[in-house]
Amino acid sequence: MSTTVHAGSTERLLTPGEVAALFRVDPKTVTRWASAGRIGSIRTPGGHRRFRESEVRSMLADLTSEATLPPARP
């Protein structure tokens, strides 16, 4: 089947180990995220998982979103 895999697939896929290194977690944890549906995953014919780099980077963009810097007073 020649599907339209040519257009938007310039997307780089990351392995569980690579994603784990970016988040500073164990590769098994990344697998658990995929099983829980917290992160999109693509399975190889053999059952291994691959993750979209753009999606992973979007999650990492959550920098300093804890507090909304209140008016600093001296």
Partner DNA sequence: GATCACTAGGGTAATTAGGGTC
Partner DNA sequence: CTTGTCCTAATTACCCTAGTGA
Q: Could you list the residues that contact its own copies (CB under 8 A)?
A: 5, 8-9, 12-15, 22-25, 29, 33-46, 50, 57, 59-60, 62-70
- Which of 40, 48, 57, 60 binds DNA (CB under 7 A)? It is 48
DSSP secondary structure letters along 7-59: SS--PPEE-HHHHHHHHTS-HHHHHHHHHTTSS--EE-TTS-EEEEHHHHHHH
Q: Which does 39 bind (CB under 5 to 8 A by kind): its own copies, DNA, none?
A: its own copies
- Binders of DNA in range 23-42 (CB under 7 A): 24-36
